[in-house]
Amino acid sequence: MLVFNYLKEENILFILCAVFCLSSCEAFLDLSPDSQPNANDFYKTESDFNGAVIACYQTLRSYPTMVLDVLEYRSDNMFMPSFTSGSQDKYEINHFQDNKTNSLIADIWKNSYSAISRCNVMVDRIQGAGINADKKIQFESEARFIRAFHYFNLVRLFGKVPLVIHEITDEEALKTPREDINNVYEQIITDLNFALQLPGSYDDSDLGRVTAKAAEALLAKVYLTNGKYAEAKVSLGNIITNGKYDLLTDIKDVFDVNNEMNKEILFAVKYSKSLIDGGHGMWLSLSDVTLAHFSSVLKEAYNANDKRAELIQYKKSGSTYLPVKFYDTQDASTNQVGNDFIILRYSDVLLMYAEVLNELNFNTDITSKESGFYYLNKVRNRAGLPALSSVEVPSQEEFKKAILRERYLEFPLEGNRWFDLVRTGTVKETIKSAYDIDVPDFRLIFPIPSAEVEKVNNPDILPQNPEY
């Protein structure tokens, strides 16, 4: 286990707590972790840099919260008919009423830039490090992958964002303007191309570190988001022909806590429930199962034979209920569950490839590996559904709809749906149909948190998104 084995070592704990604990959590962008007096002393040995990159991985621990509290409620996967104390911010996101003071949105900004700061320190400090050359490339690649991941989320959620790829002071941060979206994407692509130098696999002691193919999968998703279909085809094809990854026969096994890092998983956030603060709270846990917020639209979308429908049912764990997709029994001493949160998996690769092939050439030969049908049907067949052909999907445009629907059924609670709707330009019609809510254009991105805007206090540097 990547993260938590290392946390057992006192020297690593010291690095994580002393070096990477920021002096001011309120500092704009949280981009100056270097204020700890002897931080430089810890960037000398391979062990030091390994601890530093582990600290970068730790920033991903908050990602599931963003997925479930923000992205899923922004989509037609979840619906909250009313709110109780403590859930108003989530309700506002769900009903497209959120504003610049929303705490959940503020957390995304703060956590993302705090993560980026750690990665920047790592990338900068390792340049002159006298450590093993292969390890040097690996550590920098890991940090750049994580940085790219956070920027990919930021640019999709907020549009133009400050782009910082080196250590800077608080004063410099306050003068860092929002960057053109294309430039942010260029940096993301640069970082992920660098990360292609990562190893293809690791031994059990390092299981969970990002691999070259995980970097290539994220790169493909970035290409697809930007309509670079030829580039995405190359990256996705490399993963498919690699032979390391495949669909599991039963989709429930993909998420089984006893089957973590199986051959369908390219990258996941690691947890361990037996370590204090090493597991997670109860994702979407409910004391009363009747409070489940899965939308009726989602539940009704599944065919009676679709095996994936079971994954969005609730099952009791201890005193609360969890979705089957995230089910684990609670540890008796920590009261935590420990299943990993999957970020990239092979079914996503297949469906992205199907979409890319369709964009490049609508091919109706369902047996051809140059046809989107071939890869779409792999996912459908695993779910227990019959193959589709040009009889049911007669055109390129209809195939786009078929892919979007399949992604809807395949990835609930995994953070894909909102981004898929925005990417395909289908937000308005989808949300109107699901919730009878009219979504204005400006709500396709979130507001910049007001606290950040006020710190800068210069609309030429950090202007608020229009209409917020």
pLDDT per position as a tens digit, 251-268: 999 999 999 999 999 999
Q: Is residue 274 part of a domain?
A: yes
**Residue 197 shares a structural domain with residue 260:** no
Helices (H), 10-131: 10-14, 46-58, 63-66, 72-74, 88-94, 103-126
**Residue 325 shares a structural domain with residue 374:** yes
What's the rounded Cα separation, in Å, for the pair 351 and 125? 39
- Residue 211: pLDDT over 60: yes
pLDDT attached to residue 40? 60
**Residue 29 shares a structural domain with residue 130:** yes
What are the Cα distances from residue 356, in Å, to 223, 387, 399?
10, 19, 11
pLDDT attached to residue 86? 84
Higher pLDDT, 370 or 5: 370
- Residue 454: pLDDT over 60: yes
Q: What is the largest CA-CA distance in the chain?
A: 68
**Residue 275 shares a structural domain with residue 349:** yes
What's the rounded Cα separation, in Å, for the pair 214 and 219? 9
- Residue 332: pLDDT over 90: no
**Residue 407 shares a structural domain with residue 278:** yes
Closest alpha carbon to 129 in 111, 143, 146: 143
pLDDT mean over 190-215: 96
pLDDT mean over 412-441: 97
Q: Is residue 218 part of a domain?
A: no
- Residue 170: pLDDT over 50: yes
Cβ distance 195 to 144 under 8 Å? yes
Q: Is residue 216 part of a domain?
A: no
The answer, as to whether pTM is greater than 0.85, is yes
CA torsion sign for 79, 81, 84, 90 is positive
pLDDT exceeding 90 applies to what percent of the chain? 78
For 217, the enclosing helix (H) or strand (E) is helix 212-225
- Residue 351: pLDDT over 90: yes
Residue 30 pLDDT level (bands cut at 50, 70, 90):
very low
**Residue 397 shares a structural domain with residue 449:** no
**Residue 447 shares a structural domain with residue 327:** no
Residue 287 pLDDT level (bands cut at 50, 70, 90):
confident
**Residue 284 shares a structural domain with residue 399:** yes
pLDDT attached to residue 2? 39
- Residue 23: pLDDT over 70: no
pLDDT mean over 147-170: 97
Interval 124-136: pLDDT, tens: 999 999 999 999 9
Angle at 99 between CA 93 and CA 101, to 5 degrees: 110
Angle at 341 between CA 190 and CA 304, to 5 degrees: 115
Total number of domains constituting the chain = 2
What's the rounded Cα separation, in Å, for the pair 96 and 445? 11
**Residue 185 shares a structural domain with residue 42:** yes
Residues 6+ apart with CB under 8 A from 439: 96, 427, 428, 431, 432
What's the distance, CA 299 to chain centroid?
23
pLDDT attached to residue 413? 93
Helices (H), 302-344: none
- Residue 289: pLDDT over 90: no
**pLDDT, mean over the chain:** 90
Angle at 290 between CA 287 and CA 291, to 5 degrees: 65
pLDDT attached to residue 34? 38
Q: Is residue 221 part of a domain?
A: no
pLDDT exceeding 70 applies to what percent of the chain? 90
| Domain range enclosing 25 | 2-79+87-210+438-456
Strand partners for 267: 344
Domain CATH code at residue 379: 1.25.40.390
**Residue 196 shares a structural domain with residue 274:** no
